[in-house]
Amino acid sequence: MQTDSSFTFVLFGGTGDLSMRKILPALYEAHRAGMLAASGKIVAVARHEEDRDGYLRWVNEHVKAHVAKSGVDENAWTSFIARIEYVKLDLGNAEDFVKLRDALQDLPGTRVFYLATGPSLFVPICRALASVGLNEHARIVLEKPLGYDLRSSNAINDAVGEIFAEEQIYRIDHYLGKEPVQNLLALRFGNALFEPLWRREWVESIQITIAEELGVEARGDFYDNTGALRDMVQNHLLQLLSIVAMEPPHSMDSDSVRDEKLRVLRALKPIDPRDISKVAVRGQYHAGVIRGTSVPAYATEPGVKTDSATETFVALKVEIENWRWAGVPFFLRTGKRLADRVAEIVVNFRAVPHSALGASALRAGANRLVIRLQPNETIRLYCLAKKPGEGMNLSSVHLDLAFDQFFKEGQMEAYQRLLLDVINGRLALFVRRDEQEAAWKWVEPILNEWAASGKPKPYAAGTWGPAAASAMLAQHDTCWLEEEN
């Protein structure tokens, strides 16, 4: 399905890693699938001394490796790069923004400004766009992290909000564009089977994990001033939690969905600083082995201070104070240099209240739903069935929805979906300012307490983090999914 109207997509940071790995590959896939209006244009903006031909050589070298597994269709690629223009721009030179305005003057459709830059540049870019009248009839896309804490986040939002109206601002969180997250909404609100069970009476606990095998790579300078709580929890994990726990919206329009997510974030039980050691675990990876390869400790990574107290692992116990979820623990976890790369949501249903079939029917986790976001996007429902043979012996079985096997159409990558939503003016999968504020308010007591306390707990690279994360779940007679298996 083609986009509704023509567009001009202006990509700040056009030579950066995010543009090469995610944004331009996503736009190419949309183009190859016939989902972009034929007249739509892409204008890359960067400070590199390149002409258009030089920039296209850069794109050919760095983007092709990141397109889908199916590879590059050379005819589609040729017509895709024909959409691309390049503007050399120095953010400190006001005349360069005049040149940008002139370059955009005759290009068609709605203007989308995508800021694939550091957050320190968001406000200067927005002000410079406004100075030449480019903030009118336009949309602005802001990448995370949006600020360092509540105060800095508000400062950026205040400044950007003076230039662009809230309905023009698209704060992107790519996890919200993943197919299984969208299917979670369909699963809950489109099926009578699940919605009656999606509440405290039937759910024992919920786990949300985003685990990475990679370390900080070339991002040591950035990461050492950020940490896992800011980088992953405040945005990705809390957004996933709000999707899992939200009430049914009256429709799927942008404000209805985001209103319900906001109610969840505002219902999060406040963290008492005195209880942080009981409900929050932070860790930092030391040297270890991942898949047979030795990897260094975080403190020896390039750009990282040798005495760093920055956390590379976070595990939290979260509670939601409302009628649906009161008393149900949500366990959130994220980390770098862990044993596997996985992102998943695990819904553990309560055991049956009485079993005539033996103790196995009463064990925790006998009935669970596992929603895998990466690397393979699947939804798996676990239940008990009788083993073949004599006697009533039960065994765990599962029903799978593997999207790539069930649906003939190719799956849409998260960035592809979100970029199409920006071009078409759909806000539902983007974070509203009040959501962001609520998330920052909730995490700030943890940030403040950790800033005043000692170092994170060590864990060996290639493991699942500090033992304290497992001990936290053991207090609730449960464990992380991989520990049970």
- Residues at the binding site for NADP(+) are 47, 90-91, 144
Q: How far apart are CA 412 and CA 187, in angstroms?
A: 18
* Sheet with strand 368-374: strands edge to edge: 394-402, 378-386, 368-374, 342-349, 203-211, 330-335, 313-318, 280-286, 457-460
With tokens 């892409």, the residue in question is: 42
Q: In one letter, which amino acid is 50?
A: E
Q: Which residues are annotated as a binding site for substrate?
A: 174, 178, 212, 231, 336
Q: Which residues are annotated as a binding site?
A: 47, 90-91, 144, 174, 178, 212, 231, 336
Q: Name the phi and psi angles at 312, rounded to 5.
A: -110, 0
Active-site residue, from 62, 236, 286, 398: 236
* Sheet with strand 169-171: strands edge to edge: 84-88, 41-46, 7-12, 110-115, 138-142, 169-171
Q: Does a cis peptide bond (omega within 30 degrees of 0) precede residue 375? A: yes
**What H or E segment, with its residue span, contains residue 124?**
helix 122-131
Q: How far apart are CA 163 and CA 122, in angstroms?
A: 11
- Mark whether 236 is an active-site residue: yes
**Token reading at 415:** 């960035």
Cα dihedral sign for 52, 58, 63, 64? positive
Active site residues: 236
